Structure 1
Amino acid sequence: MKSFDIVTLTVNPAIDKSTHLKGLIPEQKIRCEAARYDAGGGGINVSKAISRLGGTSQALFTTGGFTGKLLEELINKEGIASKTIAVESWTRENFIAVDDNTNSQYRFGFPGGTISPEEVQKIMDSVSCLDTQFLVLSGSVNEGLSDDFYSEIAKKTNAKVIVDTSGEALKKVLKTGVYLIKPNVGELAKLIGREQLELNEIDDAAKQIIADGGAEIVVVSLGPQGAALVTKDAYEYVPAPNVVKKSTVGAGDSMVGGMVWALSQNKSLKEVIRWGVACGSAATMNEGTQLFKKEDALRLFEWLENK
């Protein structure tokens, strides 16, 4: 069996369906352009981002029903190595619509189906068999999964675990301790019991989590202000490049993909955070659910290197 340096786990994947329309009017039929379908979900998007950069990973994900088969086809077309975990519930769908009259984007997310205890065990067994350097746990979790699901997954592997989630699931995983987390500044504040944080307080807040054994690296997403990477010994702040934003869908996943790819290439932490910001910013330059173009990410990385 081929081993991969990076494996991404997506327990709540989705088919992302996107379209354009001209005007939202209640109680009237809205004429839409032909829909675009993309494989979605946190870990899957991370694998797609790694592929955009010329890297390789294995996408491990649940799949069920007709939509699950479509998801598998879309991932195969991307040329991404994958391993599926069959579940009874159908793979969910998300819907993204752009009103061309106002350039407003509407994002409709649907919950994932219930995962049974037997299916949870199948996921755990799949992770236990992995031989990988980095395991990325990204995205929301389904009905039937406890808040400590990611924490239990982290205990099943010797890989460096990278987590991109929120709420109680993120709090629980810190009790186990992982390699890297990527909260936004609001999430970071909640993790240390604060209502909000100023930019100059991020370093100390992240170091508090590191000192408590929650993570070795904390990357704080600051939206249009960029991002900061913190370890026990270092602090790297990177401003976001000024780009024309068309969509924020997948920007966070693109950021994680850029960083884990850079880590797998033994890049310095300074380069890791710059690749993350470059890929995340590049993703906002494309419409819908298309993530980023490699040439945009390269150009933005070079700009950040010269800052």
Structure 2
Amino acid sequence: MPPRIVTLTVNPAVDLATTAKSVRPGHKIRTFDERYDPGGGGINVARVIFELGGQTLALFASGGVTGRFVEEMLTAAKVPWQAIPIRNACRISVTVHDQSNGQEYRFVPRGPQLAASDCTNILEALRQVDADWVVASGSLAPGVPADFYSKVASIVVGRGAKFALDTSSAALTASLGRGISLLKPSLSEFEAIVGQEVRDLPGQMAQAKRLVQSGAAEMVSLTLGAGGAIVATADQVIHSPAFAVSEKTGVGAGDSFLAGLVFGLSERRPLGDALRLALACGASAVQNAGTAAVRRAAVDALLATTIGQEAGSASCSGV
């Protein structure tokens, strides 16, 4: 049986991506080329894993007509899903591309208020699913306690599965050292954890390894945008550069990266190979309009450009 990767999304969204000739305050902005996607961190990860041919399940809180729209879009895309009903409607996130300056504007609501019973139901649903990996990605909705992901980690580890986490703020710090197999912070999140600004690559590699050695997580992957990404374990730190691609959007790129990394690790690929797969997924996502619109053919084509090459990758075991 192939490894099963279950994703958890506490605060999903209907993602609307659209374009305007110009975004100006005080004016009615006419938009065009609208695209709707099922969004939220874990849902994005599940969509990419499905595109890669992996076995996955998107587990998420769903409420209102917007929640049903997310369900319908996942069904249409044939991505396996399971919804935990909540009373309030899921949020709608909007991304507007301004043709006049090439800028992208993102409007992201906090999300619906969840009751304590909603949180209990989500955790109970998680206890009932079988998984080799569980990936929790995205923000916590209002009403969800900051230590929610630490409770998720306890359930996952207790069932013998691996746990990957991508979140921020108090939800991130409350989960450190709770059995995380893979932690994927952005640079700003990483600096908040280590308590200092770290802008040079050697320093980032050293701090990532120290974070692992502190017991915060078994593995830390730090995404650096155009600078590529780092993966650190207790024994080694690997850096690989980003693929040079034209960028249409940044929405879902981090989730796409995480999907590729977890998929590669679940298949027991060498760490460097899993990291390159992750970077290829992130690069594929930014080339297309919409959220996490990864194409397997594009991923394969990117990976083919580095077959038999180091492509500038670096590894250090002594940092």
Normalising by the smaller structure, the TM-score range is over 0.9
Deviation at 1:197, TM superposition (A): 4.1
Deviation track 1:242-290 (CA, whole Å, cap 9, x = no partner) reads 1111111110000011111112222111111111111111211112325
Deviation track 1:20-46 (CA, whole Å, cap 9, x = no partner) reads 111223333222115211000000000
Matched, 1:265 2:272: no
Mapped contact 1:241–1:304 kept (Cα < 8 A): no
Distance 1:290 1:132, change over 3 A: closer
Partner residue in 2 for 1:11: 10
**What count of residue pairs does the alignment treat as equivalent?**
306
Structure 1 stretches (4+) deviating beyond 3 angstroms?
A: none
- SS of the residue corresponding to residue 72 of structure 1 reads helix
Instruction: Map 1:228-267 to 2 at 5 A.
Output: 228-267=230-269
Quote the Cα distance in structure 1 between the aligned partners of 2:82 and 2:112.
Answer: 19
Partner residue in 1 for 2:94: 95
Deviation at 1:100, TM superposition (A): 1.9
- SS of the residue corresponding to residue 142 of structure 1 reads coil
Partner residue in 1 for 2:208: 206
Quote the Cα distance in structure 2 between the aligned partners of 1:118 and 1:230.
Answer: 37
Distance 1:190 1:304, change over 3 A: farther
- SS of the residue corresponding to residue 245 of structure 1 reads coil
Deviation track 1:123-166 (CA, whole Å, cap 9, x = no partner) reads 11111122211000100001011111101111112310000111
Partner residue in 2 for 1:151: 150
- SS of the residue corresponding to residue 124 of structure 2 reads helix
Partner residue in 2 for 1:32: 31
Quote the Cα distance in structure 1 between the aligned partners of 2:122 and 2:131.
Answer: 16
Instruction: Map 1:1-307 to 2 at 5 A.
Output: 5-157=4-156, 158=159, 159-305=161-307, 306=309, 307=311
Quote the Cα distance in structure 2 between the aligned partners of 1:219 and 1:290.
Answer: 19
Quote the Cα distance in structure 2 between the aligned partners of 1:265 and 1:276.
Answer: 13
Deviation at 1:214, TM superposition (A): 1.4
- SS of the residue corresponding to residue 174 of structure 1 reads coil
Q: Aligned residues: percent identity? A: 36
- SS of the residue corresponding to residue 201 of structure 1 reads helix
- SS of the residue corresponding to residue 219 of structure 1 reads strand
Quote the Cα distance in structure 2 between the aligned partners of 1:148 and 1:5.
Answer: 25
Quote the Cα distance in structure 2 between the aligned partners of 1:212 and 1:75.
Answer: 39
Deviation track 1:64-101 (CA, whole Å, cap 9, x = no partner) reads 00111111000111111111100001010001111222
Higher alpha-carbon deviation: 235-244 or 181-190: 181-190
Distance 1:36 1:269, change over 3 A: same
User: Which letter does structure 1 place at the counterpart of 2:89?
Assistant: W
User: Which letter does structure 2 place at the counterpart of 1:163?
Assistant: L
Distance 1:256 1:182, change over 3 A: same
Mapped contact 2:44–2:292 kept (Cα < 8 A): no
> RMSD over aligned Cα, in angstroms?
1.6
